[in-house]
Amino acid sequence: MSTKNARRGYDPDDEKIFSNENIAKLKIIQEEIQWLLDRRYKMKQVIEFTGNHYLLSSRARIALQRTTSSTADYEKRKTTMLPIECAKDGCLNIDGFNLIITLEVALSGSPILLGKDGVYRDLAGLRGTYRLIDKTDAALNLIGKTLQELNVQMVKFYLDSPVSNSGRLKSKIFELSEQWGMPVEVELVPNVDVVLSGKERIVTGDSIILDECKSWFNLSRKIIENYIQDAWVIDLG
């Protein structure tokens, strides 16, 4: 099966949804969402309420949901984030689909969201389906290059087994990582969120994992800012 030439995470309405004027509005709405979250309102209800009040598109609502958290969650993530220089001090546990898809989106020129926690996230909905595209090799090569620069000794990718083509992605990781000069493991698991939530030295942009893991690295930000300078970044930070 050949890889597909595709623009991961792109929507033709993105130019309008994320115009400079609308980004300024989204930042104001984001402050209101954070205020409500700080008072223990649930994210689902907050997004629905603010989205209906401001007549936001579903895509704008997803952007706000993925880039906004309570003040307490922001502070916790700051304390558990490790300096990138410490990546060499042990095995990295990588949320495979999360990191790879974010880089594929950035390489596609589709919107990448910068949240208030300093993490890049994408708007590509996985929904149980995934297909290797022409950006997949490039994303993996950037991961390998960065891991080498950081002198990482070992990495372990975790992929959600129920997602389509997870086995093909596993094979692709093994194929390209032969040039990385380090041990690479890939494990297919039923639910990556559950597996990684209690671990340390995690690489992910998933808020659920970030709020539960013992420590993490902001690797996607380093890769994007070092090697994908033309990425379309929507700064909601």
State pLDDT tens for residues 32-54.
999 999 999 999 999 999 999 99
State pLDDT tens for residues 127-166.
788 999 999 999 999 999 999 999 999 999 999 999 999 9
Give pLDDT, residue 79.
97
Q: Residue 1's pLDDT band (boundaries 50, 70, 90)?
A: very low
pTM (2 d.p.): 0.95
Contact predicate 99/196, CB 8 Å:
no
Q: Which CATH number fits domain 82-235: 3.40.50, 1.10.1060, 3.30.40, 1.10.3470?
A: 3.40.50
Q: How far apart are CA 207 and CA 121, in angstroms?
A: 10
Contact predicate 177/166, CB 8 Å:
no
- List, in order, residues 6 or more apart from 24 with CB less than 8 Å away: none
Give pLDDT, residue 4.
66
Q: How many CB atoms lie within 10 A of CB 54?
A: 15
Q: How far apart are CA 185 and CA 178, in angstroms?
A: 11
